[in-house]
Amino acid sequence: MGMVRAVRGAIQIESNDREAILSGVTELVAQVMERNRLTTDDVISVIFTATPDLTAEFPALAARKLGFHNVPLICASEIDVPDALPRVVRLMAHVEVDVPREQIQHVYLRGAVALRVDIAQ
């Protein structure tokens, strides 16, 4: 049996457009899964947040379209910090894996790389 680990990720979306949100979140989720060699059976749950300027679609819909049918997903609004990077979807996935915490690959894409230069892969 594996250990429970949390995987972080974020992506900056081009615009508050349904297709842009779905495309960006699909890219983010696919990269998190690929880089950590995960299947949906390894995923316990995923929390998505979107900055308040992204309202055209729920980020979780992209994960559902990727096959996350039996994985609990939730979306929330990120806090509206002045001068924060705009149009960002973040995720925190809880997964069951057989790797040490330091081998987890956190994924920051596009402009979101600036959020966590310390851990972006």
> Which one is catalytic: 5, 57, 75, 87?
75
> Which one is catalytic: 5, 57, 87, 90?
90
Q: Would you call 8 a catalytic residue per the annotation? A: yes
> Which one is catalytic: 64, 87, 96, 110?
64
> Which one is catalytic: 5, 57, 87, 108?
108
Q: Would you call 78 a catalytic residue per the annotation? A: yes
Q: Would you call 57 a catalytic residue per the annotation? A: no
Q: Would you call 14 a catalytic residue per the annotation? A: no
> Which one is catalytic: 5, 8, 57, 87?
8
- Residue 109 bridge partners (DSSP): 11
Q: Would you call 75 a catalytic residue per the annotation? A: yes
**Residues designated as active site:** 8, 64, 75, 78, 90, 108, 116
